[in-house]
Amino acid sequence: MTDVNYSRLGRGILPCAADAVESSAVHGKSGEPATFEQWRQRHYEIEKQYAGRILKTPKGSEERRQLFQQAYSDVIGNIIERYDPGGGETNYTDTVVGIVKTLLSPSVRKSAKIFDLGCGSGHLLIALAKDGYDVYGIDVSRASIEQAKQDLSAFGKSEHVQHGDVLDYHAPTKFDVIVMDNVIEHLVPDETPDILAKCHEMLGEQGYLVVLTPHSFSGPHDVSKHFLPFGAKAEGFHLKEFSFTDMDEFLRRAGFQDVLGFPFHPRLLGKYHLTPKPSEWAARKSMMLEKIAKNVGLFRNS
């Protein structure tokens, strides 16, 4: 189960500002880290500090929302983009596009409305817009949304992406597919149920929610993976990493009637331009394997 990203797809209704944190990283003469390793150390320390503060904020508070948005804008704009440009976003756009297309029936494919929750600078939305889809998105990073707006202007979709919190989002339409690609692990755990319920509310009657997230058994998967042992709890912006069983429970509580899984790692097959078909059988298989792994003590309890 190392480095496995499980995907869960749930259908709606089925016919079947705080102060900036400080870092104690080693600096060069300019006052900034001098090497890639020192930048990564600073990255880890700042994410860890922000994560600790975010987890202590009251649920639903303005303090949390401001701190959350500040944290991502700070880390992406002032750290990641300075030592590892593009390192804050996943690079599996073609695979996710393939998943979205697999879920949509031919009759609605070109008119489908797709929402990317945590869209970053809009790589997925741009790829889908090129194929004629009606795309929307939201992200907590202001810099990322500015880039997305600029790149989506060629498709007349600049106003379809917003900077902010999805819980404050007023959906202009019902969506056919909502994508959360490596996003749910970044949410504050006490708000995850509310955000999944919001997704359920925004989906159309035949809609799908697609969740891709790193598996907790093989964590940590955020920047702390470079500093902590295998199986340790993430200390950076992955505020909670999930097993498939965890996600199944969260999704069903949010109102999703069916939770499906992939029989194979979709990103592995994506290298060969193949998209596996999701099924309930694959979901049951994943949860059975997790139970066995826990019972024999192969992985930590998430």
The residue ranges of every structural domain in the chain are 5-15+90-295
DSSP secondary structure string for all residues of 76-140: IIIIIHHHSTTTTS---HHHHHHHHHHHS-TTTTTT-EEEEET-TT-HHHHHHHHTT-EEEEEES
pLDDT tens-digit readout, 164-198: 999 999 999 999 999 999 999 999 999 999 999 99
Strand-pair partners of 135:
114
Do residues 1 and 291 lie in contact, with contact meaning Cβ atoms separated by under 8 Å?
no
Confidence at residue 150, expressed as pLDDT on a 0 to 100 scale = 97
How does the average pLDDT of the chain come out, rounded? 85
CATH number of 5-15+90-295: 3.40.50.150
Tell me the pTM.
Answer: 0.85
Query: Given a cut of 60, is residue 66 above it in pLDDT?
Result: yes
Q: What are phi and psi of 164, to 5 degrees?
A: 150, -165
Percent of the chain with pLDDT over 70: 85
Query: Given a cut of 80, is residue 222 above it in pLDDT?
Result: yes
Q: Residues, the chain, total?
A: 302
Percent of the chain with pLDDT over 90: 62
Query: Given a cut of 50, is residue 34 above it in pLDDT?
Result: yes
pLDDT tens-digit readout, 241-265: 999 999 999 999 999 989 999 887 7
pLDDT tens-digit readout, 93-140: 888 999 999 898 877 777 899 999 999 999 999 999 999 999 999 998
Which pair of tokens denotes residue 47?
């994410």
